[in-house]
Chains A and B, each alone.
Chain A
Amino acid sequence: MNEAIAEAAAVRRVDWEHLIQQERVHGSMYTDPQIFQEELRKIWRRTWVYVGHVSEVPDPHDFVMKSIGPDPILMTRDKDGRIHLLHNRCPHRGKQVCEEPRGNARTLTCSYHGWNFGIDGKLRGYPFPSGYAEDRRKDLGLGRVPRIGIYKGFVFGSLAAEGPSLEEHLGGAREAIDALCRTSPEGEVELTAGFLQHKVMANWKFVVENETDGYHPSFTHASIFEVADSKIGSLYSGESTALARYLGNGHSEVDLRPEFRRRDVPMSWFGTTADKLPDYTRRMEAAYGPDKAREIMIDGTPHIMIFPNLFIAEIQLFVIQPLSVDETVQHVTALQFKGAPDLNRRMRQQTMGSVGPAGFLLADDAEMYERSHLGVQELNPEWVFLGRGTHREQRDADGYVVGNVTDEVPSRGMWQFHRSLMEAN
């Protein structure tokens, strides 16, 4: 065996402790294709990954194409209302079975040899059955995501048969989802506005880190803060009382509530006032009573990154999908609150303005991750420095690490969790 083959055959041992340190991360963590392959195995195909929301398949026999990492996943609802996560691959010869991005169908038929599947993934039949000595239908359904978990309508899948439960994985992030749902007069979120798909030529972790990076908005988004009547900028200033928090298991949030409570104006989180949304205000007061409604409408919705791929940003929901070491798609839609038509309309309008390939905010974020991705290929210095705020971070009453909104508490936490996943076999 020659040397090159021997090298390729050897199991590469990566010194994660060296590459991921407390205050710095090696640039190759974003650029090395082998590390990306190992992340697919140890993160994307092992932990809980957000797939979709039950409102995207509201009726029996609905289906929609989703993904777990680069892998396409079909989310379906069967005739009894159960949600299924299926691999879109015919067990016969591998062809994708479903070719429509979404729809409603009692069965799916593979166009190659006519194998026919129920929307629950079971093989119903194949043509010319006498070609098989015995009935093989029972063994040959569509591949199934081994574990599926649903929290308040948010559907997660895990490609590993065993591991922590979804509730354990979500941990402190559950409260943020609860708070999000509470902002609806009916206690439910819906995703009914369709997705924009924005591709960036950058590693997925640059996107994850940016979501709860409160240091960049004042600079990256200076252009839109300057020309639009936006009060977002001051939330991320050095004087802001907002906090950056690491919630464990890779999840992090920017907690803007201290600032909103200081302002003490209902709907300030949405850049408006309650009297401009009379219908929503009335419905919230009817649902929760005036005092609780006021409290909810001051606190607003969370700004949370649920590792590895779900970002809830006040009025939007992003799904981060890695395609390769340097290609990532951000799928984004406006959050819609059940029973809040006037608020929903404005959330759609603001979402269209700010995100997607041409958005006032996201086009500039994307530019930054792409430039960072190019930058880290330089090896002097080799490291990305994440030390902002180490001298002033603290534990809050719940035991989570918190810092100033501009501090790198979220990135440091995410990387330590990342390392723990990568160190596992």
Chain B
Amino acid sequence: MGAADHLMTTGLAEVVRHHEISQFLFREARLQDEHRYEEWERLWTDDAIYWVPANGEGGDPEQVMSIIYDNRSRIGVRVRQFLTGKRFSQTPTSRLRRVIGNVEVLGEDGDEVRVGANMLVYESHRRGQVTWAARNQYLLRRTPDGWRMARKQVNLVNNDTSLVTLSFLI
């Protein structure tokens, strides 16, 4: 195989991986928008961390307040709370649609890739319409069942201000 062929194969593999990852993120977005909690929960690895920092970059979540700082067990509690049907801040559920864009692979290590993306969420709720914008960072892991999230960090653009209730899956 010549150098050009090698370049082509490597480049193609990267394109395929980028496509797979993008599709995974789009699917996660759709499950969140449609409140498909159990399917969404299955996207996480057993050692997952779901982090929504407060106050800008958020500092060390082990030391300071975060809007969400869930380990895998707490992600499960979050999902089960929705499933009771008595999570009143989501009863009725917010009507949501979000766009994930600017998807970039930022690094890789074995089976794991670091991915960055921008996100815009439009929320329609009794209190009004809210637009949420964020920079998302993911640590995705390739497993026998496909890509999974080991870590998701949602840096809301306005997280240094007072925020209205945000009880849907961001």
Contact = CB atoms under 8 A, between A and B. Distances in A.
- Real complex partners, A and B? yes
A226 B164 contact: no
A360 B127 contact: no
Interface residues of B, number: 39
Given A194-B54, A364-B88, A227 B65 contact: no
Contact of B88 (A200, A345, A353, A368): A368
B65 A334 contact: yes
Contacts of A195: 54-55, 65
B163 A198 contact: yes
Interface in A334-366: 334, 345, 348-349, 351-353, 356-358, 360, 363-364, 366
Interface stretch (A17-25, A177-185, A216-224, A286-294): A216-224
Given A196-B67, A366-B89, A360 B78 contact: yes
B89 A367 contact: yes
Contact of B164 (A196, A351, A357, A368): A357
Interface majority SS on B: helix, strand, loop or mixed? loop
A194 B86 contact: no
Nearest to B59: A194
Interface string B25-61: 0000000000000000000000000001011000101
Interface residues of A, number: 39
B54 A364 contact: no
A361 B115 CA distance: 32
A357 B166 contact: yes
Contact of A201 (B62, B87, B127, B161): B127
B88 A352 contact: no
Interface string A357-391: 11010011011101100100000000000000000
A333 interface: yes
Given A357-B165, A363-B89, A333 B84 contact: no
A183 B81 CA distance: 31
A364 B167 CA distance: 9
Contacts of A348: 62-65
Interface string A221-239: 0111011100000000000
A101 to B, nearest CB: 8
Contacts of A356: 54, 65, 67
B69 interface: yes
A374 B66 CA distance: 29
A196 B167 contact: no
A201 B164 contact: yes
Nearest to A329: B162
Given A193-B64, A351-B65, A371-B126, 15 more contacts: A194-B64, A196-B65, A196-B67, A198-B163, A199-B163, A199-B164, A200-B165, A201-B127, A222-B86, A332-B65, A357-B163, A358-B52, A360-B78, A363-B165, A370-B165
